[in-house]
Amino acid sequence: RKEVEQDPGPFNVPEGATVAFNCTYSNSASQSFFWYRQDCRKEPKLLMSVYSSGNEDGRFTAQLNRASQYISLLIRDSKLSDSATYLCVVNAVYGGATNKLIFGTGTLLAVQP
Amino acid sequence: DAGVTQSPTHLIKTRGQQVTLRCSPKSGHDTVSWYQQALGQGPQFIFQYYEEEERQRGNFPDRFSGHQFPNYSSELNVNALLLGDSALYLCASSVTGTGKRNTIYFGEGSWLTVV
């Protein structure tokens, strides 16, 4: 089983749609959670951190359920510019390294005009 | 303030050859991690360097090796290249230590094609 598993893609949605991405992680000791965005042939960039209380940044809302080991990202009023791959990321706390990120495979979002 | 810089940005190598990729972390950062991202996959952790030592290694063969210099910059070396080593290699810099905000920054990556 992969340490971080995401919805398979791609997601093709019209402009203005609401889209949700889901992710599960296997290590209950994980402490930090993130969503990264990656544009085609570019490096991943931090979109937002995810907290148990839930957090919102404009059209983006992230939720964490520690009991279910489940992370979600909701994008409201999708824009063409939201088209990218969204990576669910967990900061591993074992093995000696710090800030070791475990990535999901990513979900491709294509927003259609 | 320069961010994370990687070189080269693109390169093509032949099977069996060796390659060295370089990374300069963000100013003030002391920890460098390397990731491999194959097409259609998420980045996979290769190893991490701190205080010039490898602190942890992911599931990669010994053909992958690295080094960190006193100025915190780092190199990733891959020997005996295979076609399957073709990927985007990402360098991530961060700070180790209590009280430090654990913000991780990625470089733009080095695209390696093995033919």
DSSP secondary structure string for all residues of chain A = --SEEE--S-EEEETT--EEEEEEES-TT--EEEEEEE-TTS--EEEEEE-TT-EEETTEEEEEETTTTEEEEEE-S--GGG-EEEEEEEEE--SS-SSEEEE---EEEEEE-
Calpha distance B47→B78 (Å, rounded): 13
Residue contact A104–B42, C-beta within 8 A: yes
pLDDT of B101 over the 60 cut: no
Q: Which two tokens stand for residue A100?
A: 């070791």
Contact (Cβ atoms closer than 8 angstroms) between residue B91 and residue B104? no
* Nearest Cβ partner for B42 among A42, A91, A106: A106
- pLDDT value of residue B100: 46
Residues of B in contact with A46 (CB under 8 A): 103-104
Whether A32 has a pLDDT exceeding 70, the answer reads: yes
Question: Which of A26-35, A99-108, B20-29 shows the lowest mean pLDDT across its residues?
Answer: A26-35
For the segment B18-33, the average pLDDT, to the nearest whole number, is 95
Q: How many CA atoms lie within 13 A of B97 on its CB side?
A: 10
Comparing CB atoms, the residue among A45, A99, A105 nearest residue B33 is A99
Q: How close does chain A come to B20, measured CA to CA in Å?
A: 19
Per the CB < 8 Å rule, is A95 touching B56?
yes
Cβ of A91 and B102 within 8 Å? yes
- Minimum distance, in Å, between the CA of residue A96 and any CA atom of chain B: 6
Q: Check whether B98 has a pLDDT greater than 60.
A: no
The C-alpha atoms of residue B29 and residue B90 are separated, in whole angstroms, by: 16
Supply the pLDDT for residue B102.
Answer: 66
| Residue A103 pLDDT greater than 70, yes or no | yes
Contact present, B38 and B87 (Cβ < 8 Å): yes
Q: How far apart are CA A5 and CA A35, in angstroms?
A: 13
Is A98 touching B (CB cutoff 8 A)?
yes
pLDDT value of residue A95: 67
- Spatial CB neighbours of B100, under 8 Å, sequence gap ≥ 6: none
Q: What percent of chain B has pLDDT over 70?
A: 93
Can the peptide bond before residue A10 be classed as cis, meaning omega within 30 degrees of 0?
A: yes
Put simply, the answer to whether B42 touches A97 (Cβ < 8 Å) is no
Q: Which of residues 54-93 of A touch B (CB under 8 A)?
A: 87, 91
